[in-house]
Structure 1
Amino acid sequence: MQIHTPDWVKHAIFYQIFPDRFAQAELKPPVSLAPLSLEAWNLPPTSQGYKGGNLWGVLDKLDYLQDLGITALYFTPIFQSASNHRYHTQDYYQVDPLLGGDEAFFRLLEAVHGRGMKLVLDGVFNHTGRGFFGFHDIVENGSNSPWLDWFKIEGWPIAPYDGDRPANYRGWFGNRALPELNHANPAVREYIMRVAEYWTGRGIDGWRLDVPFCITEAGFWEELRQRVKAINPEAYLVGEVWTNQRPWLDGSRFDGVLNYVFAGATIAFAGGDHVDPQQVADRDYEAYPAIDALSYGEKMQLLLHAHPWEIQLTQLNLLASHDTARLRSITHEPETSKLATLLLLTFPGAPSIYYGDEVGLPGELDPDSRRSFPAEADWDLEILRCHQELIGLRRARMSLRVGEYRFLGENYKTYVFARIYEGDVLIVAVNAAAEFGKIDLEGVGTRLGTQPSQILFRTQQFEPKSQLEPDADSKSPQPRDPVQVIWTADNLFLALPPRTGILLG
């Protein structure tokens, strides 16, 4: 079958926002009339506490996001819910009043589109919250409820709140706060389809689809794709799939998945022995143990050849999310963030930055990974510089967005590849080792048809006082820059300081 994916995604820079934690602004009546019990913004988050971030706050931060180079926003759920993360949906047709309600959302959507940006929502269609109208009716009326077949009731009485008794209904992974919908019921299926159609028709640019592997009814995702694309053929459908991507990416279901396969390999290579196993142990993205450049290259080649190129260009590549620890807490040092960000922003597919990662926000596993966006005084300006420069380069160079990815060579923990598009050739080299990395690439000039030698980006800035001085005993002065890029005839020699990456053009 011919595969078509949204063209805009191939050129997008995504930014994932957890609305309760990104930005605060004053709410409007009636919510603003009542004092709200909120956790202090700068204190560690708890599982059930609210910080008070909202969509008005996001609206106020659009200048910051656009200056960073972001072109698309992906929100975790925003519909009315009884949880700070809002995966406990109560009303699929109502934006949560604590986030500013429908008024704030449509003002934000208009402003985002006015800046030429896109907006993607999170669709949680496997389960609801206990406050969803159908399940609430079952709680109130038991076996007399007309909504029994909307859920997976297994016995009576049900116990939605009493943990000492059997729940007697199916909850997502046994969580009684998340009753699973019965998708075998045509009415349930139609309800979900209409929710997806409604918000697509109101102007959103796509859906991130939560735990799609839990909905196993034949044809469900194919139908959702057809109905959403009938309204907006360029709508982006991206699934939360952690491991086995291939069944989802034949063009009949999703345009891409959250690329945790890329994330795991990249963290294992860039982080190496710095990775704290406790921060990645309970997730399925293989960020530990450490791997060398050979293994990393093999994993990238397998990933790149697993799907059609049209799909690869609309994968949602990421390094962290609300479901993982953040890079700064996975390795407890900043260099992994810089190296991994270089690999992220130069890989085929749309990069997604988890809010705060661009300024070095720490965060261990949930709920700590959902910290509030930090005050400017707490930003890591070097990590921010890396994001700013790499995003600028990606937006300026077609080769980084849609160009061929060509492996050039590896040596221990030094990995080198090129991105190529219509004569624009860029070389990326990363040394993830704790010692100097050197590599000879024979004949690479002929293979590339050019000899890129200008350093367009480097993860490590070098001050003059730390640069090498000429060797007085040598006829030829030693290079002042510890990064060496030397072309000899058709061969390229690279020497990179420990934990350093560069981009040549």
Structure 2
Amino acid sequence: MNFLHHSWKPEFRQPFGAVPLNSTVILRVKASEIEKLKLHTYFNDQETFYSPTKSVEANFWEFNITLPEVPGLFWYDFSFEANGRTYAYGTQGDLLGGEGKIYETKPPSYQITVYNPERKTPAWYTNGIMYQIFPDRFNRGSDFSLDNFHENAILHPNWNDTPHYFREKDNSIKYWDFFGGTLTGITEKLDYLKSLNVTILYLNPIFKSQSNHRYDTGDYMTIDPVLGTQESFETLANACKERGIAIILDGVFSHTGDDSLYFNKYGNYPEMGACQSKDSLYYSWYTFTDYPKTYACWWGVDSMPNTDEMHPDFQAFIFKNKDSVIKHWMKAGASGWRLDVADELPDPFIKGLKTAMIEENADSVLIGEVWEDASRKVAYNELRTYFSGYELDAVMNYPFRDTFIDFIIGEKSSGATARMMMSLSENYPKDQFMGNMNLIGSHDRRRILNVLSEAFKFLRNRADLSYRLDDEHYALAVKRLKLLSLIQFTFPGVPCIYYGDEVGVQGFEDPFNRRTYPWGNEDLDLLKWYRQITQLRSDYPVFQNGSWKPYDASDDLFVFERRNDDTLCFCLFNRNAIAVHLFKQPDCDGCTGLDLISGETVALSPIVVPPLSYAIVLTTLKPDN
């Protein structure tokens, strides 16, 4: 008995990956010594059985199926009999697709994502390079003024101080520390961003709030005075536009702050808030269980009361009104939004918000904070429809970050790494896969140098605020970061630099991962590296929009190609700190290529990759290739 189906290979499934509504898909199996072969499909609780037709190729059987006319996840697996017993065939237990497995019980099914293809992600986004800024910590601008801070703010006089949380006995924070970064400070450093070939600026929240992170929104229509004014934002937006940079704002809509215009728990705003009276215009935005003391809040944090995103008044304020939050700030210069905790927002809310964005700017982009495979994310027992074609253009690609970190530090083989990335490529519509926000650092994770040094292992989770990597661990981390960042800038998706990662900023968990940008104390060698790889991506469109394919290699060597109509590049990454690795592509015997990093001509039979190193080889193929 033999049975094989491989969802990534064209001889078994065409077309590859996610497909538009009402598409025809051909599924094939290669089998011998079996009988009673059936295809089982599942869509929206409807189960269907199909019988095969014999292929012209020996031992192949095929099924021609028409997929649904509405978006969703279409699942399939197979059953057959052999030697008087019944068997099933589905994907492997990791649910990642590819070559499957024979089971004697119900198997895990293969996934096909069905989506509406009418909306396209704009090229300015998918071809771009993103830079994320935590506004308080990037640059103290010429407009900085002590008069703009609220009474519970603690200002660090020294820009290079270490961030700190001043917690009360109940673990709450009454006094927030600030460093005084401003929007004008960002404007004054835009030429620095252009030296990194940045075309997209993603800002953590900028609206009036009590905290330094500003995820506890106080007033959606007002720039936090510490950061500046609406005029400051518009000046920044105009200066960005002059330099070909688009701005993405952070939209925090699943909750507000308790000290806000809308909730007004402490009476700091003149307008009556939901916590002050049931007659408040904003009372319907919130859910109270024991008014006014007890209410639904974000993950039990009572300073962040949850909103009712499905209430018409809230939706009107956020995105439906002519001067809604979304439209107001897009008119002021924003080109898109990143949705904080997208899993907390109902799909109809996201769909409505995206529709409002398109009404304001057809080329706008909506990114969601989703930490897993977003094509099949289940949140609060509900399968999300982020990639239906009506909601998100892209998501933060945490699977990319986690997978490649594990590869670089030796915890995942190159084969397992390729398998994870192939699964995303298979499950995501092409626009979403090419638009993945590929991050390796963020305000929610340890600084990447600390991660790659593996310092957390020998510190036993002691995130010492004064800790700095010693020279040996720093050198190792930088070598690994060069590998990881080069993967990031040659892989499909939109690479995102977290401010300061490019110059050696260190730090463990929040707040230490939110240190200030070290103006005047940068690691200039690392900065030079980032300028080189951002220029590489900018100069070669194949890294922006080319197809990709991984190759089998040793566990320590990750290899993939990027290809478009006139360019083929082999991208090779050797994580081993001692061993040289070789890669030989039979089709390239006798060929030469240009290493785009070293500028040297190299032979392709084989390509030699030194320890903890890389090769990005632009090939010159023979005419018959």
If the TM-score is normalised by the length of the shorter chain, which range does it land in? 0.7 to 0.9
Q: Which residue of 2 aligns with 1:465?
A: none
- Select the residue among 18, 30, 44 that pairs with 2:134: 18
- Displacement of 1:101 in angstroms is 1.5
Per-residue CA shift, 1:196-232, capped at 9, x if unaligned?
A: 122122231000111111122x511111111111110
For residues 203 and 381 of structure 1, what CA distance do their matches in structure 2 show?
33
Residue aligning to 1:501: 614
Q: What is the correspondence of 1:3-14 to structure 2 with a 5 Å cutoff?
A: 3-14=119-130
2:366 maps to what in 1?
237
Does residue 342 of structure 1 match 2:342? no
Given candidates 327, 332, 337, the residue that maps to 1:197 is: 327
Matched, 1:445 2:588: yes
Aligned in 2, Cα 1:230/1:32: closer, same or farther, shift over 3 Å? closer
RMSD after superposition: 2.2
Q: Deviations over 1:167-207 (max 9, x none)?
A: x1111000011111112321112111121122122231000
Farther off after superposition, 345-354 or 183-192: 183-192
Aligned-partner Cα distance in 2 for 1:366–1:399: 36
2:398 maps to 1:254: no
Structure with greater contact order relative to length (CA < 8 Å, sep ≥ 6): 1
Instruction: Tell me, yes or no, if structure 1 residue 486 matches structure 2 residue 569.
Output: no
Tell me the distance in 1 between the aligned counterparts of 2:360 and 2:279.
38
Distance 2:336 2:150 in 1: 34
1:146–1:67 distance in 2 versus 1, CA, 3 Å = closer
User: 1 CA distance for matches of 2:507 and 2:393?
Assistant: 30
Of the three residues 556, 571, 574, the one matched with 1:413 is 556
Aligned to 2:535: 392
Is residue 367 of structure 1 aligned with residue 497 of structure 2?
Answer: no
> Paired residue for 1:206?
336
How many angstroms does 1:146 deviate by? 4.8
Alpha-carbon contact 1:408-1:441 (below 8 Å) kept: no
CA pair 370-457 structure 1, distance change in 2 beyond 3 A = same
- Whether 2:544 is the aligned partner of 1:401: answer yes
Q: Distance in 1 between matches of 2:149 and 2:199?
A: 35
| Aligned-residue offset at 1:141 | 2.6
Gaps of 5+ in 2: 1-115, 166-175, 265-271, 376-384, 454-476, 619-625
Q: Distance in 1 between matches of 2:226 and 2:278?
A: 33
**1:303-338 Cα shifts (integer Å, max 9, x gaps):** 222212122222211101101111111122212211
Query: 1:485–1:493: 8 Å Cα contact kept in structure 2?
Result: no
Mark the CA change 1:140 to 1:260 in structure 2 (over 3 Å): closer, same or farther.
Answer: closer
**Alpha-carbon contact 1:263-1:317 (below 8 Å) kept:** yes
**Secondary structure at the counterpart of residue 80 of structure 1:** strand
Change (3 A) 1:407 1:140: closer
Give percent identity, aligned residues only. 32
SS of the equivalent of 1:427 reads strand
Name the aligned partner's letter for residue 483 of structure 2: L
Determine if contact 1:419/1:426 at 8 Å carries over to the other structure: yes
SS in 2 for 1:234: coil
Higher helix share: 1
Deviation at 1:439, TM superposition (A): 2.8
How far off its partner does 1:415 sit? 1.2
1-structure distance, mates of 2:292, 2:125: 48
Native 8 Å contact 2:591 2:603 kept in 1: no
Gaps in structure 1 of 5+ consecutive residues: 159-167, 273-289, 462-480
The alpha-carbon distance between structure 1 residues 173 and 13, as it changes in their structure 2 partners (threshold 3 A), is same
Equivalent position of 1:280 in the other structure: none
The one-letter code sitting in structure 1 at the alignment partner of 2:401 is A
TM-score in terms of structure 1 length: 0.84
Matched, 1:175 2:301: yes
**Cα gap change, 1:146/1:12 in structure 2, threshold over 3 Å: closer, same or farther?**
closer
Please show how residues 298-337 of structure 1 align to structure 2 within 5 Å. Answer: 298-332=419-453, 333-337=477-481
Match of 1:156 in 2: 291
Q: What residue in structure 1 maps to residue 263 of structure 2?
A: 135
Match of 1:454 in 2: 594
> Normalization by structure 2: what TM-score?
0.68
**C-alpha distance in 2 between matches for 1:61 and 1:341:** 22
Counterpart-to-counterpart distance in 2, 1:230 and 1:430:
44
Deviation at 1:148, TM superposition (A): 2.4
